[in-house]
Amino acid sequence: MYLKILLPTEIFYQSEVTKIMAEGEQGFFTLLPRHIDFVSGLVPGILYIYPELNEEKYIAIDQGILVKCGSEVLISSRHAIKGTNLETLEKIVKEQFKMLDEQEKKARSASARLEAGIIRKFIEFER
C-alpha cells in the first residue's frame, strides 16, 4: 500500500507500507494491502505504520479522516507529529498540543475583542 499523510500546508509523510493500525470513531482497526476500500473518521491518537514487516513507526495525529482506495491510503489531519518510540512521542505531543491550545486561546480571545469592538461601534453609530 502507498500511504500519504496530508496536513493543510504539506505532505507530512509518504511511503510504501505493509500495514497500518489506527483508531477510528468505532475503535481500532488494521489495514492490510488487500483490504476492501474503506473510509473512516480518525480520533486523536497514534497511527502505527509498518513500512517493513518487523519495522514500526509512530505518528500522532489530531483527528482526521482516512480513505483507502485501491492500493492508496490517504490520511488528512490538521496536525501530525512523528516519533521514534512511544515515550518520547508522548512528551512531544503534550508539549506541541499544549502550545497549539495556548495559541488557539489567544486567537479566540482576540476574535472576541474584535467582535465586542464592532458591536460597540454599531451601538455608537445608532445613537
What are 67-118's pLDDT values in tens digits? Answer: 999 999 999 998 888 877 777 777 777 777 666 666 677 777 788 878 887 8
Position with higher pLDDT, 11 vs 111:
11
> Is residue 2 very low, low, confident or very high in pLDDT (cuts 50, 70, 90)?
very high
> Do 55 and 113 share a domain, yes or no?
no
- Which residue range(s) make up the domain with 56? 1-83
> Do 49 and 99 share a domain, yes or no?
no
Torsion 72-59-43-112 (CA) sign: negative
> Do 13 and 72 share a domain, yes or no?
yes
For the residues 33-41, what does the mean pLDDT come to?
92
> Do 75 and 101 share a domain, yes or no?
no
Q: What is the pLDDT of residue 113?
A: 79
> Do 62 and 19 share a domain, yes or no?
yes
> Do 2 and 60 share a domain, yes or no?
yes
In CATH, what number is assigned to the domain containing residue 77? Answer: 2.60.15.10
> Do 11 and 51 share a domain, yes or no?
yes
Q: What is the pLDDT of residue 97?
A: 67
φ and ψ of 120, to 5 deg: -60, -40
φ and ψ of 123, to 5 deg: -65, -45
Query: How many domains would you assign to the chain?
Result: 2
Q: Please answer whether residues 101 and 109 qualify as being in contact, where contact means their C-beta atoms are separated by less than 8 angstroms.
A: no
Q: What is the pLDDT of residue 112?
A: 81
Of 61, 62, 59, 64, residue with least CA distance to 88: 59
> Do 76 and 98 share a domain, yes or no?
no
Q: Determine which of 19-28, 53-62, 65-74, 114-123 has the lowest per-residue pLDDT on average.
A: 114-123
